[in-house]
Amino acid sequence: MTVRPLTPGRAATALAACAALLLCAALLSMLLGAAEVPPGQVLRALVGGGDETARTVVLQVRLPRAVLAALVGAALAAAGAVLQALLRNPLADPFILGVSSGCALGAVAAIGLGMQATALGLPLPAVAGGLAAVGIVYAVSRAEGGLSTRRMVLAGVVASYFLSAVLMLLLFLGEGRQGYLSTERVLFWLMGDFSSQTPEQVLRAAPLLLVATGLTYLLAPGLNLLMVDEGWARSTGLSVERFKTLAFLLASLVTGAAVAAAGSIGFAGLIVPHAARLLWGSDHRLLLPASMLLGAAFLLLADTAARTVAAPLELPVGVVTAFCGGPFFLALLARRG
């Protein structure tokens, strides 16, 4: 990994390109869908005009869905960029540490208790489950010399498998009881689902996603120091172990908020930061905001494809990202040997 000199002109050009791509993805998301709405009606609906049907489709269905897809994509990409720097491994992904399985388990347990009908919805138990998984992985990863990133990865893989097994057991035992644990519905959500999002649900999920994702930018200077060398980072006054713990927890919180909002959507945290790093280098003062914008655009495009390629049927968003991310991961793995 290299840290290229960051100039205001290079940063402005990169972020402008990312913002333009995000705008195009957002417009495409508004224009395409199962319901045919002419482009003129879509544009008029976005400014408060147009007929009632167009306003309903655009403002009540497509716009909330697009906003949440963008927020989740930005969150996953930011978490991926942080974890790839923290583990010094471009193959790292937010879901490798067991956070996704913990969030999914917390959410499914909440569904089983009927909490989807409360004002809290799924975010609180899902994030709680994710943080519990983080606590387990963190405790196992502690070594005499500090926080071992190698042990962290291994503990995350083990925790992910174990929590997934518990999740499947809950689904098996709870199927048909009081109608709460519909296996089909839960599995669709676990593969990534924006289809049932209302404006109210988006408003509940947005603050946590925005704040947690934005806070990752504060990690940029420390991540740049860690990428050079941990000894060098210590010599500059950085408390390396404390910083690594904080970065790990924040990335996990961001991932947990994303999973709580839309289910498990893999590979966004792998593909996007790696692509941004290839384009603009590894300076996290640029890499993090660029990854957020590209992640938002990527998930908007993936969600648009999920809604349209098999219309009137709808694919889980996680299936689309897996079709993109699987070959990418294999190619990257083969390239790195």
Q: Give the confidence band of 141 by pLDDT, cuts at 50, 70, 90.
A: confident
Give the whole-angstrom CA distance, residue 58 versus residue 42.
7
CA 238 to chain centre: 28
Q: Please indicate whether residue 114 or residue 272 has the higher confidence score (pLDDT).
A: 272
**Omega before residue 312 within 30° of 0, cis:** yes
- For residue 127, CA distances in Å to 286, 328, 337 come to 28, 29, 35
SS3 per-residue string spanning the chain: CCCCCCCHHHHHHHHHHHHHHHHHHHHHHHHCCCCCCCHHHHHHHHCCCCCHHHHHHHHHHHHHHHHHHHHHHHHHHHHHHHHHHHCCCCCCCHHHHCHHHHHHHHHHHHHHCCHHHCCCCCHHHHHHHHHHHHHHHHHHHEECCEECHHHHHHHHHHHHHHHHHHHHHHHHHHECCCCCECHHHHHHHHCCCCCCCCHHHHHHHHHHHHHHHHHHHHHHHHHHHHHHCHHHHHHCCCCHHHHHHHHHHHHHHHHHHHHHHHCCCCCHHHHHHHHHHHHHCCCHHHHHHHHHHHHHHHHHHHHHHHHHCCCCCCCCHHHHHHHHHHHHHHHHHHHHC
For residues 212 and 254, the answer to whether their CB atoms sit within 8 Å is: yes
Question: What is the pLDDT at residue 177?
Answer: 55
Does residue 162 have a pLDDT over 80?
yes
Tokens of 246: 């904080």
Can you give the C-alpha Rg of the chain in angstroms? 20
Give the whole-angstrom CA distance, residue 330 versus residue 33.
31
Does residue 23 have a pLDDT over 90?
yes
Decide: residue 10, CB within 10 A, 0-12 exposed, 13-18 middle, 19+ buried: middle
Tokens of 100: 């996704």
Give the whole-angstrom CA distance, residue 86 versus residue 241.
11
For residues 107 and 262, the answer to whether their CB atoms sit within 8 Å is: no
Which of 71, 149, 134, 128 lies closest to 99 in space, CA to CA? 134
Return the minimum-mean-pLDDT range out of 157-171, 178-192, 228-242.
178-192
Question: What is the pLDDT at residue 297?
Answer: 96
Q: Give the confidence band of 310 by pLDDT, cuts at 50, 70, 90.
A: confident
Tens digit of each residue's pLDDT (9 = 90 or more) over 248-288: 888 888 888 888 888 888 888 888 998 898 888 889 999 99
Does residue 116 have a pLDDT over 60?
no
- Token look-up 């349209």 returns 308
Domain 60-336 has CATH 1.20.810.10: no
| Domain ranges, ordered by start, for the chain | 60-336
Question: What is the pLDDT at residue 122?
Answer: 64
Question: What is the pLDDT at residue 18?
Answer: 95
